[in-house]
């Protein structure tokens, strides 16, 4: 699979949960604006990805439908505050393009735009005790 139009970053994603349609700017992204919607649902375990080929498994905490207005995107079913600058940064999109999406040449008024809010999995860090025991195990087995 190539994510680049020039084809210079060829890579394959490993097997796992489904991938989100578009890349994110970083693997700690909390928000993603998808202008053409997605079939993924709230609560689903998915992988976000970067153009470098790195992936991160996350949970879709919320899938919010958007109405694209000339003044900018607006949530349809919620009055929740959305930090649009952070959404633009996480989506790897210019803030002006996000707010002015209604005038953007790629805007399709027949598609339902959505905002995905991700919850990141907690990764268990090894304790000092487990690191020490692992080190002792390696030292014991060096002489064999």
Does some domain include residue 10? no
pLDDT at 2 over 80: no
- How many distinct structural domains can be found in the chain? 1
Does some domain include residue 105? yes
33-91 tens-digit pLDDT = 999 989 999 999 999 999 888 899 999 999 999 999 999 899 998 889 999 999 999 99
User: Which residues contact residue 142 at a Cβ distance below 8 angstroms, ignoring those fewer than 6 apart?
Assistant: none
Per-residue model confidence (pLDDT) at position 1:
43
Does some domain include residue 52? yes
Does some domain include residue 5? no
Q: How confident is the model at residue 4 (pLDDT cuts 50, 70, 90)?
A: low
130-141 tens-digit pLDDT = 999 999 998 888
Q: What is the DSSP letter of 18?
A: P
Q: Enter the tokens of residue 27.
A: 């693997």
Name the residue range of residue 45's domain: 31-142
pTM of the full structure = 0.75
User: How far is residue 38 from each of residues 10, 32, 60, 113, measured CA to CA in Å?
Assistant: 24, 11, 12, 8
Does some domain include residue 3? no
């Amino acid at each position: 699979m190539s994510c680049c139009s020039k084809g210079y970053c060829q890579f394959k994603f490993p097997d796992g949960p489904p991938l989100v349609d578009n890349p994110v700017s970083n693997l700690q992204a909390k928000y993603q604006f998808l202008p053409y919607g997605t079939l993924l649902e709230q609560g689903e375990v998915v992988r976000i990805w970067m153009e470098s080929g790195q992936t991160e498994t996350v949970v879709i905490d919320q899938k919010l439908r958007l109405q694209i207005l000339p003044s900018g995107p607006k949530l349809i079913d919620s009055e929740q505050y959305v930090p649009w600058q952070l959404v633009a940064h996480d989506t790897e999109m210019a803030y002006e393009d996000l707010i002015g999406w209604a005038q953007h040449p790629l805007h399709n008024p027949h598609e339902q735009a959505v905002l995905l809010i991700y919850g990141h999995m907690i990764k268990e860090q090894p304790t000092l005790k487990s690191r020490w025991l692992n080190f002792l195990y390696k030292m014991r087995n060096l002489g064999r």
